[in-house]
Amino acid sequence: MPMDEFEARAGAYISQHQMLQKGDTVIVALSGGADSMALFHFLFSVQNVWGLRLRAAHVNHGLRGAAADGDAAFVRAQCAARGVPLDETLLSPPENAGEEWGRQERYAFFARLAQAHGAKVATAHTCSDNAETVLFNLARGSAARGAAGIPPVRGPYVRPLLWAQRADVLAYLARCGVPHVTDATNDTDAYARNRIRHGVLPALERAHPGAARSITRFAAEMSAVADYLEEQAGALLEQACVPRAVYLPGNIPDAYCAQTLAAAPAAVRHTALARLIAAAAPQQKMSLVPEADALLAKGEGAVQLCEGVWLSIRQGLLAVGPRPEPPRGEAGSWRQPFAPGVFAAPGGLLVEVQLVNYEKMVNSEKDVRNLLKFCADYGKIQDNPCFRTRRPGDMFRPAGRGVTKPLKKLFSEQRVPSAARDALPVLASGGTVLWAAGFGFAEGLAPDEFTKTAVTVTARQMEEVT
């Protein structure tokens, strides 16, 4: 008996996307409606030829009373007639339960079954569903991934009918004499998707026959675009990441160089920001991207993502975490404990403090004299100094100069730009500066023959390390 045209096209689509292999256990998400019954009948017809183990799953959302109970009974009867094992569940909906609640509960049930049976889950989404999804996502605000619509394969989920329109499904059921039930809620305009199904798509089909298929082809192109953007966004975040940065109270593990992010192409930058936002506030990721992008352009400030979580930019670093303390602009306001590690300093600098074995350092370095300009005997640094910006009255005795001078005068003599002076980090104990960015350590701290542990302090612009 020749294969039905519908079945031939479904088989070709499954092969094209490598959805199923011999020996697979396949769970059909079976509501009893036209689409799911068409998929169920098709897979039942080919299961022996393809070497599949077929099961079905039905969800009663508890929202439609006797009508839903009738659908469940219909599904049981169809599975029993074919000898197909059925898993079903009855949900207890909360007050004001909507479409999203039903979807989450439904997929949670499918996921548990897929794991329990080592199975794939086949859903009966069609080309028409895909077009509705794309239009719905675009209307509520979406990036490339939302415009990509429903993927043919995602994790354990396969969708063998994404090529078909509803007319194809109904014609197949009629030819095969397969019954189905009708969910009355699909005929109302109470849900946004129904309004798209009943009003928007038919209007588009009248204006441009074949609109649903055209939208589906567009979605496939956007899927490739989304894959590319996500790959590029991942590379951007890796490039911009400043590991171990001590950024905000609580030592947030990772931060990102704001300048590197801001310089990226807009589409890649937006995708990267959406990824950072989604980790904290998945429901808000696209709506907050414009605010986060404006923050990048500004270079300072914070945007709240959700309760207790903010996307913040301070001192050239972007991070997601607790709300930062309001920045203070006066000289001497910034402080950082003197300890090994990496931290962001004012002026877009990244400062790294390292403790090293002095003997090994001397033996391994070729240019020891140059290295000694940037290190000190760790044991000679006393009194719990801290990193900060300059303060009035700060005094500094640079190594090899033989003179102690006010830091203000030293900056002036070395022609440090006035705008940069208040941002340069120094290591100080009281009013005595032990190290200053661009000048190195003070006189009297250099390593000697008794040194066991040396400390190095380096300060670089953040873009130099990304």
Residue ranges at the known binding site for ATP? 31-36
- Cβ neighbors of 103 (< 8 A, separation 6 or more) are none
Provide the phi-psi class of 360: left if phi over 0, else alpha when psi is between -120 and 50, else beta.
Answer: alpha
CB 40 within 8 A of CB 169: no
Q: Map tokens 């009867």 to a residue.
A: 77
| Tokens representing residue 19 in the block | 């959805």
Distance CA 376, CA 434 (A): 10
Q: Map tokens 């998707």 to a residue.
A: 193
Give bridge partners of residue 337 from the DSSP assignment: 386
Q: Map tokens 């914070």 to a residue.
A: 302
Report the 10 Å Cβ neighbour count for 236. Answer: 23
| Tokens representing residue 369 in the block | 């004299």
> Could you give the maximum distance between any two Cα atoms of the chain, in Å?
102
Half-sphere exposure of residue 225: CA atoms within 13 angstroms, side-chain side: 16
Annotated binding site: 31-36
